[in-house]
Amino acid sequence: MESTKNNKTDKGKKNEKTKSQRVVEIVKSWKKLRELGLSDDLPALVEFKKVTNLFIEDGIPVTGKIPMPEWDRTLCYILTNHALKESTIALMANTK
């Protein structure tokens, strides 16, 4: 008799994004950042690059905020590995 726990684990994996799906999603996000004129060498984007690379490789969902004082903004991100949900990034204005 098969374990019910294994069936639940297998079912959960059906809803996970593949590595190629994660790559496509992250590339799309980086294109948007570049369209805004943000340079890859900004400290916040160097840090975000590390976060996105880990997400692509490991598929572990991650949420966070990275301050961007040069632009008076904060980069907020929600990277989800759920196949039916889209990861999001947003540049939020810093309030004074």
Q: What is the pLDDT of residue 1?
A: 43
CB 92 within 8 A of CB 73: yes
Residue 66 backbone phi and psi in degrees, to 5: -125, 120
What integer is the mean pLDDT of 62-78? 96
CB 68 within 8 A of CB 74: yes
Whether pLDDT at 86 is above 80: yes
Distance of CA 74 to the CA centre of its chain: 15
Per the prediction, the chain carries an average pLDDT of 89
Q: How many residues does the chain have?
A: 96
Whether pLDDT at 2 is above 50: no
What integer is the mean pLDDT of 7-33? 85
What would the pLDDT profile of 22-67 be if each residue is shown by its tens digit?
999 999 999 999 999 999 899 999 999 999 999 999 999 999 999 9
Q: Please, which pLDDT band fits residue 95 given cuts at 50, 70 and 90?
A: confident
In the chain, where the domains are located: 15-93
Amino acid making up residue 65: K
